[in-house]
Structure 1
Amino acid sequence: MNSRQRRRVLRTALALTAGFGLTAVAGCGAADTGKSSSAGSGDTITLTKPSWVGAEANVAVASYVLKEELGYKVTTKQMGEVIAWDALSKGTLDAVMEDWGHPKQEKQYVEKQKTVVSGGDLGVVGHIGWFVPKYWADANPDVTDYKNLNKYAADLKTSESGDKGQLLEGSPDYVTFDDAIIGNLDLNLKTVYAGSEAAQITEMQQKYKAKKPFLTYWWTPQWLNAELDLVEVKLPAYEEGCDADPKKVACAYPNTPLQKWLNADFAKDGGKAAEFLKNFKWTADDQNEVAKMITQDKMSAEEAAKKWVEANKDTVDGWLPK
C-alpha cells in the first residue's frame, strides 16, 4: 500500500461502520463482475457528486462540458465514497472525479475484479491537517506545535467538548484518524462534528469574525482558505506506513494527489465521454474558483461551470477528444 493509497481514508472508514449497510453492498459488488447497467451504454453519463464543494466543482464543470460540448445527458448521484466505489464497479456509476485514496476498494475492484480502472490524476494535490487561525497563532506562537496543545486546551473548550479542548470536525462521513492521533499523542482534546462541510465553515467563520481561538480538522484545496488566514499545527512527520493501522496513527496526514476512477466497461466503450473524463485535469486554483462561485457568490453549479468554461476555453479545448 503506497502513500497515495492511504490518503484521506478520510471520508470513508466511518461510513463502513455508520449503518449504511456497506458490508452487504460490498458483498453484492463481489458477486457482480462489472457487467454494467449504464456504463458505456447510450448517451447518458452518470457521475457521483460528493458532499464537499471542491468535488462538486469538478462534477459541475465536467457535466457542463459533457452536455454543451459533447452532446451527452448527465445524471449525478450523491452518495458516500465507499458506496460510490461499489456502484462504480457495478456500472451504476460511470466515473468518480475526485478520490482521496481507498486502498481496500482499489485492491478489490481494480486489482482483483478489474471492474474499475484509473482515470488519471485530477491535477489537484490534497492535504489534510489541523489548523488554527493566524491571529491566535501570532499571539501564541507555540500553539502550532502539537506538543503544546494541552497548554491551550482550556481555551478550546466548548459545551460539546466538556472538560477537553475541541477539535472541530466536519461531516461524520469524512473519515479521519483524529481520535487515534489524540489518544496516541495523549492530547487533552475531543473531536466534535459540526455535521457537514457547510456547518463546519459557518462555525469557523463565526469564530474567526469574533477573533476566538479554535482548532479544526481542515484541508487544502478549499476556497475558504482565501478568506480565512489559517496556520497548520505541526504533528509528528508523516512517514510511509505510519497510518497503516488506523488505531495506531500518531502522525500527520500526507499530501494526496487526487485521482479519477472509471468503470472498466465505460472506460473501454464510453467513447468521447470516457476520453474527455480521462483528459479532465485542472488546478487547485481552478477548483477553488468554481467552488467559491457556488458557495459565496450563490450561483448554481451549472451557472458557475458555464462562467468558468467560457473564461477558460483553451483549457477546456485541451480536454476535448481530438
Structure 2
Amino acid sequence: MAAALVLVALVLAACGSGGTASQAKIPLKLAENNWTGSSINVNVAKILLEEQLGYKVELVTIDENLQWAALGKGDISASLEVWPSGHAANVKQYIDDQKVVENLGPLGVVGKISWYVPTYVVQDHPELATIDGFKKPEDIALFKTAESGDKGQFLAGDPSWVQYDEDIIKNNSLDLKVVRAGSEQAVLAALDSAYSRKQPILFYFWTPHSIHAKYDLTAVKLPEYTDGCYEKAASGGVSCDYPKDVLFKIAWGDLKNKAPDAYQFLKNMQYTDKDQIGMIAAVELDKKTAEQAARDWVSKNESVWKAWIPAK
C-alpha cells in the first residue's frame, strides 16, 4: 500500500496540478500572403511544426495589411515574411506602441522591389535604364496600351500590395499611368506575352523571385532611396527608389507564453535567398505546389532546420 501511494505521488508530481503529463499544444495559424515566397515559408514551417514539435497548423490566406490586427488579437499566430518598407506604421502601432505583436527577427532573405523592363528594351533604348528616359515623349510612346490611353503604361499587381508607384510617377512628372494587373500571376502572364514578342513592358516586381532565372530583366535606376524620402510616404511624397528590405517575421504577442517551443522555433527559423529562390522556382517554373517544394527542401536540408528546433 505504501509503495502504491508513493507511485501515485510521483505521477501527480509529474503531471502538475492540472493532472496531465504535459500541457496540450494549442493549434497554430500561420498567415499566408498572396505571393509565392510567403507560401513557401509557411509550408516549410507547417511541416516542421507538425512533424517535429507535434502542433496542428492551419495556413490562413490573408492580406499583408489586414494580418496585423488579426495577429494583435491572437486570431493568427505568426506571419513569416514582412517587407519593412511598407509597414512602418504597422510596426509602430502594433509592435512599438500596443506591444500586441512581436518582431521575431530576420527571415534571412533580403528583398528589393524595383521597376523592371526586359533587357532587350534597354539594348534598343539605352536611355530607359534610368528614370530620365521616361521623361521623353518618344520613349513614353513605346509603353502606351489600350488601358493607359495617351500615357505610357506602368503595370502593377495586386491592389493590396504596398506600392508607391503612383507617387513616384507624379513626383517625378512622368507621363505614365498605373494599370493594375490584379495578381502576381497576371503580371507574369503579361510579361511572358510581351517577352515572347519582344515588346516593351514596364512593371513592378521584386527579388528574390524565380522570374530572374527565366527572363533577362533590367531594373530601372530611380532616384536614390533616402529615409527622408519615405518619411513623406503617408502624404504621398515618395519620389525615390524602394529600399532594400531585410525581411522579418512577426508573431502574436502572447505566442511566447502559449506555445513557447513553437515561438522559439519560428524565432530560430532562417534561411538564405538561395534557399527561398530555389523553392520559388520549383513552384513557378517546375509547377510544384508550395507544399511539395517545401517538402523537397526539408528532406534535403536537415542540417539547416535541425538548428531551428528548440532544445528540450
Which residue in 2 is equivalent to 1:81?
64
Which residue in 2 is equivalent to 1:118?
103
Runs of 4+ in 1 over 6 A off after TM superposition: none
- Structure with the larger RCO, 1 or 2 (CA within 8 Å, 6+ apart): 1
| SS of residue matched to 1:82 | coil
CA distance in 2, matches of 1:214, 1:95: 36
Which residue in 2 is equivalent to 1:251?
240
Aligned partner (choices 133, 150, 156) of residue 143 of structure 2 = 156
- Which TM-score applies when normalising by structure 2? 0.88
CA distance in 2, matches of 1:42, 1:69: 13
| SS of residue matched to 1:249 | coil
CA distance in 2, matches of 1:92, 1:41: 18
CA distance in 1, matches of 2:162, 2:107: 21
Paired letter, 2:40? A
Structure 1 position 273 matched with structure 2 position 262:
yes
Structure 1 position 95 matched with structure 2 position 72:
no
Structure 1 position 283 matched with structure 2 position 276:
no
Which residue in 2 is equivalent to 1:234?
221
Say if 2:36 and 2:290, in contact at 8 Å, map to a contact too.
no
The C-alpha deviation readout for 1:15-43, integer Å capped at 9, x for no partner, is xxxxxxxxxxxxxxxxxxxxxxxxx9734
- Which TM-score applies when normalising by structure 1? 0.85
> Following superposition of structure 1 onto structure 2, how do residues 131-280 of structure 1 map, counting pairs within 5 Å?
131-151=116-136, 152-246=139-233, 247-280=236-269
Displacement after TM superposition at 1:136 (Å)? 1.2
Displacement after TM superposition at 1:271 (Å)? 2.2
Which is further off, 249-258 or 288-297?
288-297
The C-alpha deviation readout for 1:236-271, integer Å capped at 9, x for no partner, is 111112022221111111111011011111023312
Equivalent residues, number: 283
CA distance in 2, matches of 1:300, 1:253: 30
Displacement after TM superposition at 1:300 (Å)? 2.2
Say if 2:40 and 2:291, in contact at 8 Å, map to a contact too.
no
| Gaps in structure 2 of 5+ consecutive residues | 1-22
| Gaps in structure 1 of 5+ consecutive residues | 1-39
| SS of residue matched to 1:292 | helix
The C-alpha deviation readout for 1:130-186, integer Å capped at 9, x for no partner, is 111111111211111111113311110111110111111111111211111111111
